[in-house]
Amino acid sequence: GDSVTQMEGPVTLSEEAFLTINCTYTATGYPSLFWYVQYPGEGLQLLLKATKADDKGSNKGFEATYRKETTSFHLEKGSVQVSDSAVYFCAPGGGGSNYKLTFGKGTLLTVNP
Amino acid sequence: NAGVTQTPKFQVLKTGQSMTLQCAQDMNHNSMYWYRQDPGMGLRLIYYSASEGTTDKGEVPNGYNVSRLNKREFSLRLESAAPSQTSVYFCASSGGGQQETQYFGPGTRLLVL
């Protein structure tokens, strides 16, 4: 079955530092890839996605590139802010008729001023 | 636009009691999902409904039942609650098929004593 390995946290950074959260996956076919973010006390919300190889998803200064050859979808941001403190989840889709996402265990990011 | 709504927000049960968690979406989505979130475990899929009239087991279905009441509503029932079911429960919906992006509700925090 599909699986995802996500960098374990917690990750603690100072404001304006560079962020990388690694994500690798195994999946059948060519799934869409997602990053979700969960702010304290809230549900998950879509941060960005990529639907095919070499696509780059981006939102709110975050980026991730769909790397089919390394089955990876690493999340990056050049300069984090305190408001980016949250839990980040990587999730490959099932592809087409599967309807399901497989979520990683999440990475807690804390950004200090 | 309310998106995905869940009730109740918080519930305390005694072991052996039953309850139903309610979920509704107003995005005309075909697919709906129930997840549980536990510390260190990420999100685990309990049940899902690919389309109105169908339901399927996810990763951790034991102790739960679901009903896809209509296209908008998808409920999760605990017939005899156990302390191991203490968790945060999230409902999500998606367009289904190639429209894999899932939209999440705010969650229900359940404590079973």
Where residue A83 falls among pLDDT bands split at 50, 70, 90? very high
N-to-C CA span, chain B: 36
A87: CB partners within 8 A, 6+ apart: A9, A37, A38, A106, A107, A108, A109
User: How close B97 comes to chain A (CA, Å)?
Assistant: 5
Q: Is the pLDDT of residue A58 over 80?
A: yes
Task: Among B96, B98, B100, select the one facing A101 at the smallest CB separation.
Answer: B100
Asked whether residue A52 carries a pLDDT value surpassing 70, the answer given is yes
A 26-65 near B (Cβ less than 8 A): 32, 34, 36, 42-46, 49
pLDDT at position A7 over 80: yes
Whether residue A97 and residue B97 make contact (CB cut-off 8 A), yes or no, is yes
* Residues in chain A closer than 8 A to B97 (CB atoms): 96-97, 99
Q: Which residue has the higher pLDDT, B37 or A7?
A: B37
Q: Does A33 have pLDDT greater than 70? A: yes
pLDDT score, position B1: 67
pLDDT over 90 (residue A109): yes
Q: Chain B residue with minimal CA distance to A93?
A: B100
| Distance of alpha carbon A73 from alpha carbon B37, whole angstroms | 23
Q: Is a pLDDT exceeding 80 seen at residue B31?
A: yes
Give pLDDT, residue A1: 61
Per-residue three-class SS string for B21-84: EEEEECCCCCEEEEEEEECCCEEEEEEEECCCCCCEECCCCCCEEEEECCCCEEEEEECCCCHH
